[in-house]
Structure 1
Amino acid sequence: MSRIALVLRHADEIHLGNLEQVLLEHGYTVRYVDTLGVDGVRDIDPAEADLLVVLGGEMGVYESDRFPVLTDEIALLTNRLGARRPVFGVCLGAQLMASALGSTVYRGPSNEIGYRLVEPTAAGQDGPLRHVAGIPMMQWHSDTFDLPEGTTRLAGSAAYGNEAFAIEDWALAVQFHPEVTAEMHESWLSSSEEEVRAEGLDPDAMRQDRALHSDTMQLASRALFSEWLSALPDAAAGPRRTP
């Protein structure tokens, strides 16, 4: 019987990317929920899906006045995490997880855009995060958070100390974007050239970086995600795969 991966999406162009195939290989059926749609997330049973994936978005966790659904997502995550049910969060998703666990999310020191190194901690090197060591990963964020109590810090970067954290083997949050394919990167870049140039970055240089790093990054991302899925508690894990 297929397992269900419920995916909270905040924009059509910010989707599962190269991670979707990994979920399919591990026996999951993927169901997207467009959180800004009319139905929102209030009717979702926090414990029902085998896996909850919360993707990125252009809003900040602290902008619930503009995006009321964020409050509902935090409530959903609070209940889901309280029930110790598997969660994977990316960028905004990681920040929402941190907020649901009682931490503050706020503007960081810089708008970090581009392929940047993420350095696993000792704990990170002992698990799936080791796959990203020495490999530039896609970053596109300007917010950060305090490490939630009861979690393990798995990675940091030169600009941001908290790039990944976990709760045991069933909840994982990453600030970087492991899901980004070359096509997604071009879509984001083409629609955000004004933002990129305002940060003193050259879009064409970023395309050159993509040519250098995208394929390797996607291999590392898939290995990371596959290993994490394989280690989920038996009640939620898909078929075992070798990363």
Structure 2
Amino acid sequence: MKSVVAIRHVAFEDLGIFEPILEEFGYRIRYLDPGLLGPDALEALDVDSPELMVVLGAPIGANDDALYPFLSAELDAIRHRLDSGRPLLGICLGAQMIARAMGGRVFRMPQKEIGFADVSLTRDGQEGPLRHVGNPDVVLHWHGDMFETPPGATRLAYSHACSHQAFAVGEQVLGLQFHLEVDPARIEPWLIGHAAELAAAEIDPVELREQAVRYGPGLKQRGQQVLREWLATTEAAYGIE
């Protein structure tokens, strides 16, 4: 049976609507929680064996090694996975960590980008799985840092507030700054878990909840279409059955 290891930093930032698609493709899902298990779990992780590795988001920064020491071990695991040539998907913090591992810059934005708003695709983005997102169309943004598209990668998407929203390295790597994986029907844990951040940014959780209802069905459908096509293309490229 195929397997995927997902590095998860907080419980509610999981694979979301991607989980049933991975199961549809025959993947056995394993979560690894370094915040609970510590750096040793990452150092012991066999990053070569799983057919797919996913690095999920978190309300911490990719440059916060001094504050959260497990990030150094996570960065090493990502570098090892990149060197292995095996498929790798990064979302929000995960994409930032991949960009950093590849020599790209991650830095603080002038203003946080939180909420349901448009993302636009580059020409390259329009020719791959992300075309299912729409150009432009609404996605969920939730970040205060951004990556620059790292050396050797192709920029796929951007928004008004963030000029680097997605990148790819061939069929091996996909990095997404925005959150296609979030299940809009399960937005409440996000509103609770990020309550202090929303208050500090003066963002109304009531409005986010209403937007999740309004955009949810379309977002779920489009997000799952993106993952289906990316998995099919990646599996074909790497002979994964």
Q: Which residue of structure 2 aligns with residue 168 of structure 1?
A: 170
Q: Once the 2 structures are TM-superposed, how far is the Cα of residue 201 of structure 1 from its aligned partner?
A: 2.0
The amino acid across from 1:195 in the alignment is E
Q: Judging changes above 3 Å, is the alpha-carbon distance between structure 1 residues 175 and 237 closer, same or farther for their aligned structure 2 residues?
A: farther
| Structure 2, unaligned runs of 5 or more | none
Matched residue count: 238
2:26 alignment counterpart: 27
Are 1:55 and 2:56 counterparts? yes
Question: Which is worse superposed, 104-113 or 116-125?
Answer: 104-113
1:126 maps to which residue? 127
Give, in whole Å, the separation in 2 of the partners of 1:195 and 1:53. Answer: 25
How far is 1:27 from its partner? 1.1
**Cα offset for 1:236?**
5.0
The 5 Å alignment of 1:64-103 reads: 64-103=65-104
Equivalent AA in structure 2 for residue 215 of structure 1 = P
Q: What displacement does 1:83 show?
A: 1.9
The match for 2:105 is 104
Work out the CA distance in 2 between the residues paired with 1:109 and 1:27: 42
TM-score by length of 1: 0.93
Query: Alignment partner of 2:137: what SS?
Result: coil
Cα-Cα RMSD: 1.5
Alignment of 1:137-152 (within 5 A): 137-152=139-154
User: 1:162–1:40: structure 2 CA closer, same or farther, 3 Å change rule?
Assistant: same
Distance 2:80 2:130 in 1: 26
State the Cα deviation string for residues 33-65 of structure 1 (Å, max 9, x = none).
111123431011221110000000111111111
Check if 1:231 corresponds to 2:233. Answer: yes
Rounded to whole Å, the distance in 1 between the matches of 2:120 and 2:222 is 13
Tell me which residue corresponds to 1:199: 201
**Cα shift readout 1:4-35 (whole Å, capped 9, x = no counterpart):** 10110001111011100010001111011111
The DSSP-based 3-state class of the residue aligned with 1:118 is strand
Counting aligned pairs with the same residue, the percent is 36
Query: Which ranges in structure 1 are unaligned for 5 or more consecutive residues?
Result: none
What is the TM-score when the length of structure 2 is the normalising length? 0.94
Alpha-carbon distance in structure 1 between the residues aligned to 2:195 and 2:5: 31
Compared CA separation, residues 224 and 232, structure 1 to 2 (3 A): same
Does residue 1:215 correspond to 2:225, yes or no?
no
After superposing on structure 2, the runs of 4+ consecutive aligned residues of structure 1 that deviate more than 6 Å are none
The question of whether the paired residues in 1 share the 8 Å contact of 2:88 and 2:173 is answered with: yes
Contact 1:135 1:216 in 2 (8 A): no
Structure 2 contact 185–216 (Cα < 8 Å) conserved: no
